[in-house]
Structure 1
Amino acid sequence: MGKIIAIANQKGGVGKTTTSVNLAASLGVLDKKVLLIDADPQANATSGLGIDVDSIEIGSYQLLEHTAKAEDCIIPTNSPNVSIIPAHIDLVAIEIELVDKEDREYMLKKAVSHLKTEYDFILIDCAPSLGLLTLNALTAADSVIIPIQCEYFALEGLGKLLNTIKSVQKIHNAALDIEGMLLTMYDSRLRLSNQVVEEVQKHFSDMVFETIIQRNVKLGEAPSFGESIINYDVGSKGATNYLSLAREIIQKNES
C-alpha cells in the first residue's frame, strides 16, 4: 500500500516544487514506483519534468472536476519509475468552480485514493496558498512535508500552516501526519542559515529531517532543461541531498 505525501507551504520560493520533482526522481532511482500530482496552477513540476504544459489536454484540473479518471490523466516522465498527473494554467479556475460543490475538500481524495495500491509514493506539489487546492491535497494525503528555507522570515507563516494542518486533522482528515520539516536553500557560510537551522531544530526537534538541502547552482539550472537534478547532474550536491532525503523517507516508512 502506497503513501500519499503533500508538499506544502503557503510561502512561495521555499523549494516546494524543487523538492516535489527531485524527491520523486530520487525515489524513482531507488526503485520505488512514484506518481507526482501537480496541484499548482503554475505547473512548474510539470515543465520541470520535461512536459510541455501547453500540450496538456487532461490533468489535475479535470481530475479535481471529476471529468476525467485519474488513470486517464497519468503520463510517463523522463525519470525512471516516475509518472505525473500534470497541471495547466486552467487549474487557476478550480477554486471558484468548486466553491459551491458538496464535499469540495474531498475531490482529490475521491479521485486518487484508489491509486495507493499502484504506487509506493504519491507526491502532491501544492500551490503556494492555503486555498481550496491545498486543502484538497491535505485532505487526500497521509502526511505532509513542509519545506522551510534557511533565510530571514523562514518561520513567518509557519504557525498559520500548522494551524491549517490542525484544522484539517480535526475536520477532514484525522490521520494526517507531518512527515517532516525540510530545511532548504542552506548555505553553510551564512550565519543566518545556521541560525535558522538551530532555531527550527530547537523548536521542532523530531519533526525535522536530518537531510538538509544545500544551495546548489545545478538545482536551479535543472528545471530549465526539463530535467530533475538526478537526470541533469547526478554527481551534484543537490542530487546527493535529495537522494539522502529519499533514503530517509524510505527508511522511516519501512521501519
Structure 2
Amino acid sequence: MQQSHTTTVVTLGLAGGQGKSTVALMLGRYLGRLGIPVLFVDADPQSSLTSFLGVKVQPNTPTLLEVITTTEEKTPLINAIAPVPDVQLDNRTINNTNLFLIPSDDGLENANYKLASSGISLFILRNRLQPIANNFGVIIVDPPPERSHLAQTSLGAGDKWIIPAEANVKGVQSLVRTLELVKEFQPALPYGELMGVVPFRAKWTGVNPTKATKSSISAMGEIVGLDLMLPHILESDVYKNAINQRVSPTDLGQPGLEYPISVLAQKLKPTLPEQYALLIPTETV
C-alpha cells in the first residue's frame, strides 16, 4: 500500500567530503527527470546545494534561516521556495521544472542559537515543512557535516535517512559517528528509518576494487548489515563535471553512473504517493 504523505529524505554524515550533498543532488535530479516534483532543503551554512543548483539568493528574500527562526505568519514558507533554473548544455536545455529549493547562505549558522534555545529543536524543521509537503513528491534535506542543532533538526525532519560514506578509513569512522547520532535520537523519532549506506568515491583498478575500497565497504557491511548496504558510487570526474555544469551524469552521456541513484529510487518507491511511485521504472538502469 502506497503512502499518502510526502516522504522527506535526509542525507547524513558527520564529516566533510562523504558525498552527502552529491547524493542529495543526484537523487533529486533523477526523480525530477522522471516527473516527480522535488523540494530540496539546503540546511548547511556552507550552501553547497544552493550553489550546485544555481539558485541565487535574492536580497530581502527569506532563506532557511528565516524559515527556522520565525513563524509562518511572519515568514510564509512559500516565500522561501525558489525554482531551480534550467541549464544550457551543448545547445540543449536541461529542464528543471520539477525542482525547487529552500536555499541557505552563511547566515544560516545563526539558526543554531535559535535551535539551541528551543525545547523542540528536533522537530522545528519538520513542523515548518508539513503545511506545504503535499505539494511535492519528495523532500530532500542536506544538513551540515557536523554534530550541530541544524544537523539534529534535519534528522528530525526525515522519514528516511541515507548515510553516504567515503570508501576509506575516514568514511568508516564517519559512518560510526553518524550512526551514534541516529541511535541517540531514534527513540524520539519513531517515524524515521535508516534507508541505507552509500559508499562514496569507491576506487577500482581495472575490473576490481582497490584493497582499501574493498576492505572499507566490507567494514561498513559488518557495521550496519548487508541489507542496508547500497551500491557504491565510483570515483569519477563525471560526477564532478556534472555538478559543475549543474546537470546529471545521464545528461553527460554516462547513465550507468546513476545506477546507485536508481537503486535508491527503487527503495524509496514504496514510500511515495502512488501517482509518483508509478513514475519510477520497475527495473533499475
TM (normalized to structure 1)? 0.89
Q: Distance in 1 between matches of 2:237 and 2:271?
A: 29
Question: What residue is the counterpart of 1:197 in the other structure?
Answer: 217
The amino acid that maps onto 2:248 is: I
Task: Note if 1:11 corresponds to 2:15.
Answer: yes
Question: What residue is the counterpart of 1:88 in the other structure?
Answer: 105
Q: Which runs of 5+ in 1 are unaligned?
A: none
Correspondent of 1:235 among 254, 269, 273: 254
Q: Distance in 2 between matches of 1:233 and 1:175?
A: 37
Task: Note if 1:175 corresponds to 2:182.
Answer: no
Deviates more, 1:22-31 or 1:65-74: 65-74
Task: Note if 1:28 corresponds to 2:28.
Answer: no
Shift in Å, 1:136: 0.3
Deviates more, 1:90-99 or 1:156-165: 156-165
Deviates more, 1:62-71 or 1:228-237: 228-237
Question: What residue is the counterpart of 1:107 in the other structure?
Answer: 124
Question: What residue is the counterpart of 1:129 in the other structure?
Answer: 146
Deviates more, 1:28-37 or 1:46-55: 46-55
Question: What residue is the counterpart of 2:80 in the other structure?
Answer: 73
Q: Structure 1 55/188 Cα, relative in aligned 2: closer, same or farther at 3 Å?
A: farther
SS in structure 2 opposite 1:174? coil
The amino acid that maps onto 1:207 is: L
Q: Distance in 1 between matches of 2:174 and 2:20?
A: 15
1:229, 1:238 within 8 Å by CA — same for their partners in 2? no
1:69, 1:111 within 8 Å by CA — same for their partners in 2? no
SS in structure 2 opposite 1:13? coil
The amino acid that maps onto 1:223 is: I
Question: What residue is the counterpart of 1:207 in the other structure?
Answer: 228
1:230, 1:239 within 8 Å by CA — same for their partners in 2? yes
Shift in Å, 1:29: 1.0
What is the RMSD of the two structures over their aligned residues, measured on CA atoms? 2.3
Q: Deviations over 1:133-165 (max 9, x none)?
A: 010011111121000111222211433321221
Q: Structure 1 185/158 Cα, relative in aligned 2: closer, same or farther at 3 Å?
A: same
Q: Which has the larger radius of gyration?
A: 2
Shift in Å, 1:222: 2.8
The amino acid that maps onto 1:139 is: G
Q: Distance in 2 between matches of 1:130 and 1:185?
A: 23
SS in structure 2 opposite 1:10? coil
TM (normalized to structure 2)? 0.80
Shift in Å, 1:89: 0.9
Q: Distance in 2 between matches of 1:55 and 1:246?
A: 35
Q: Distance in 1 between matches of 2:265 and 2:97?
A: 14
Shift in Å, 1:23: 0.8
Q: Which runs of 5+ in 2 are unaligned?
A: 87-95
Q: Deviations over 1:22-62 (max 9, x none)?
A: 11000111222211100000101011011124768311111
1:23, 1:246 within 8 Å by CA — same for their partners in 2? yes
Mapping 1:218-233, distance limit 5 Å: 218-225=238-245, 227-230=246-249, 233=252
Q: Deviations over 1:165-220 (max 9, x none)?
A: 1221223x1221101111111112222112212222243211112x2211110211
